[in-house]
Structure 1
Amino acid sequence: MAPRKEQQIFQATLELLAAKGYEGLTVEGVAERSGVNKTTIYRWWPSKAALLAAALVEADLLTMEPPDTGGLRGDLEALVEGVAALLTRPPASDVAVAALGAAVHHPELAEATRGFFADRFAREAAVFERARRRGELSAEADPMLIVDLLAGAVWLRAVFRALPLDDDFAARAVSAVLDGSLAR
């Protein structure tokens, strides 16, 4: 399939998810919105869960390339800012909340979201590999834990508590994770 047509399908998938939730997302609706025959969509993705899984990983809307600021602190702050943008700016925020909210009740969607996070972490791993080569990160540090702490802070603050993220939120969150909070 042509990349442009594929992106149209993914865009339609994510728009419908955001507008109607997982229950309202249908391959027929995606076909109508994207201008692609539904048999073509089914040829590439056997179910709406498979289509959504591909859209979550491949859609331009959710793409976030790992930063390379030259240092671990700057890279992590940029990652936090990227997650914050994803979770606070429509339409990406609507997609993220709809997908993860529905994943609780739909095992096939839970698998799709796991694929999204696995892909995202695989891309982010370069940040930690570079930091280790520069001597900024110990060999014992757990990159996934660091990402979970930082992204979890954004999720909790922005989505669950519905609180604004201050301009210095990313720097403060990264500092708390890298430097700790104990008095020295």
Structure 2
Amino acid sequence: MAPRKQQDIFRATLGLLAEKGYEGLTVEGVAERSGVNKTTIYRWWPSKAALLAAALVEADVLAVEPPDTGSLRGDLESLVRGIAALLTRAPAADVAVAALGAAAHHPELAGAARRFFADRLAREEQVFERARRRGELREDADPMLIMDLLGGAVWLRTVFRGLPLDDGFAAEAVRAVLDGAAEAP
């Protein structure tokens, strides 16, 4: 399938998910919105769960390129701002919340959610590799834990608490993770 057509299908999938939720997402609706025959979609993805899984990982609309600011702190702040943008701006925010809800209620999507986050962590790994080479990060530091702490802070603040993120949130979250919050002895 041509990459442009595939992205049309993914955009249609994520758009319908954002508008109608997982229950309202249908292959027929995706076919109609993307201008592709539903048999073509089924040829590539055997179910709507498989289609959504592919869209979450491969859609351009959710793509995040790891930054290279020259410092770990700058890269992490940029990543936090990117996560915040995904969770606060349409259509990505609606997609993220709908996908999370669908994964919580539909076991067949739990694997898709794991693949989505594994893909993101694999892309972000280069940030940590560069930081280790520059001597900014301990060899035993856990990139997944760092990203869970930072990404989790954004999710909790924006999605679950419904609070806005001020301009200093990214820097403060990164400072708390890298420097800690306790007074030095």
User: Are 1:123 and 2:110 an aligned pair?
Assistant: no
SS of the counterpart of 1:51? Answer: helix
Q: Which residue of 2 aligns with 1:60?
A: 60
Q: Where do residues 42-61 of structure 1 align in structure 2 (5 Å cutoff)?
A: 42-61=42-61
- Give me the whole-angstrom Cα distance separating, in 1, the residues matched to 2:91 and 2:124: 23
Task: Give runs of ≥4 in structure 1 deviating > 6 Å.
Answer: none
Q: Which residue of 1 aligns with 2:170?
A: 170
User: Are 1:144 and 2:165 an aligned pair?
Assistant: no
* 1:110 positional shift: 1.1
- Give me the whole-angstrom Cα distance separating, in 2, the residues matched to 1:152 and 1:6: 30
**Unpaired segments ≥5 residues, structure 2:** none
- Give me the whole-angstrom Cα distance separating, in 2, the residues matched to 1:105 and 1:51: 17
- Give me the whole-angstrom Cα distance separating, in 2, the residues matched to 1:105 and 1:54: 18
**Unpaired segments ≥5 residues, structure 1:** none
Q: Which letter does structure 1 place at the counterpart of 2:60?
A: D
SS of the counterpart of 1:29? Answer: helix
User: Are 1:10 and 2:24 an aligned pair?
Assistant: no
- Give me the whole-angstrom Cα distance separating, in 2, the residues matched to 1:105 and 1:165: 28
- Give me the whole-angstrom Cα distance separating, in 1, the residues matched to 2:50 and 2:100: 15
- Give me the whole-angstrom Cα distance separating, in 2, the residues matched to 1:109 and 1:15: 17
* 1:111 positional shift: 1.0
- Give me the whole-angstrom Cα distance separating, in 1, the residues matched to 2:70 and 2:108: 39
User: Are 1:84 and 2:84 an aligned pair?
Assistant: yes
- Percent identical across equivalent pairs? 81
> Normalised by the size of structure 2, how large is the TM-score?
0.99
SS of the counterpart of 1:70? Answer: coil
Q: CA RMSD in A?
A: 0.5
- Give me the whole-angstrom Cα distance separating, in 2, the residues matched to 1:70 and 1:108: 40
Q: Which residue of 1 aligns with 2:105?
A: 105
Q: Where do residues 145-160 of structure 1 align in structure 2 (5 Å cutoff)?
A: 145-160=145-160
Q: Per-residue displacement from partner, 1:85-112 (whole Å, max 9, x unpaired)?
A: 0000010000000000111110111111
> Normalised by the size of structure 1, how large is the TM-score?
0.99
Q: Give aligned pairs, total.
A: 184
Single out whichever of 79-88 and 109-118 deviates more from structure 2: 109-118
SS of the counterpart of 1:104? Answer: helix
